[in-house]
Amino acid sequence: MSHNIRIAPSILSADFARLGEEVRAIDEAGCDWVHVDVMDGHFVPNITIGPAVVKALRPHSAKPFDVHLMISPVDQFLEDFADAGADIISFHPEAGAHPHRTVQTIKSLGKMAGLVLNPATPLSALDYLIDDLDLILVMSVNPGFGGQSFIDTQLRKIEAIRKRIDETGKDIRLEADGGIDLTTAPKAIAAGADTLVAGTATFRGGPEQYAANISGLRGE
């Protein structure tokens, strides 16, 4: 099963003074996606990077850029991130008045659309959107900071979403993000996640450790 698990290292935990080199290093170490956490200091209590940095990083890897927008309002920035080189654009249903329109806009830009569920966001957020989604991202911490501990109640949510995805018969990725490490990764996978975002656990030990860290998260 492990070879089907995608690992998407979060560059939030990378060395920001060497971001281009860090993206190249995780690419060479065998990551599947590059996860980019975009925070605005408004929707979440932190400020990270914007489209200009995504654009600057784009030449450093051909791997899909998995861009998680923790910004509100979100719609006005979708085109900027698409133009900057995002392949997958995920957003929170609370970040705009019309989540369905946001999904439509992402798809119209030729990108994969993802919906992000915070720990307290109910499954009902998926009710009229799931058929249009390419990705569902379950936050297993409250968004805003790296290095937080995994919230175990989210395993039940992952299990429930896995069932709903399987019922659609569609190829929708199920991603877990937050507190993913060698202990929690197998739990998330067992619950039904097929993609894992891992920041601290990927970047621990420096570039010479990245390949081993990624393999370990896959359960190899």
| 65-70 and 34-39 beta bridge pairing | parallel
Prediction pTM value: 0.96
Report whether 96 belongs to an annotated binding site: no
Report whether 110 belongs to an annotated binding site: no
Mean pLDDT confidence for 176-200 = 97
User: In which domain, by residue range, is 71 found?
Assistant: 2-218
Band the pLDDT of 70: cuts 50, 70, 90: very high
pLDDT digits 0-9 by tens, 127-157: 999 999 999 999 999 988 777 899 999 999 9
What is the CATH classification number for the domain harbouring 15? 3.20.20.70
pLDDT digits 0-9 by tens, 87-133: 999 999 999 999 999 999 999 999 999 999 999 999 999 999 999 99
Report whether 30 belongs to an annotated binding site: no
Tally the domains of the chain. Answer: 1
Give the active site residues.
37, 177
Residues comprising the chain, all counted: 220
In DSSP terms, 70 is beta-bridged to 39
Going by the DSSP 8-state scheme, the letter that residue 47 receives in this structure is B
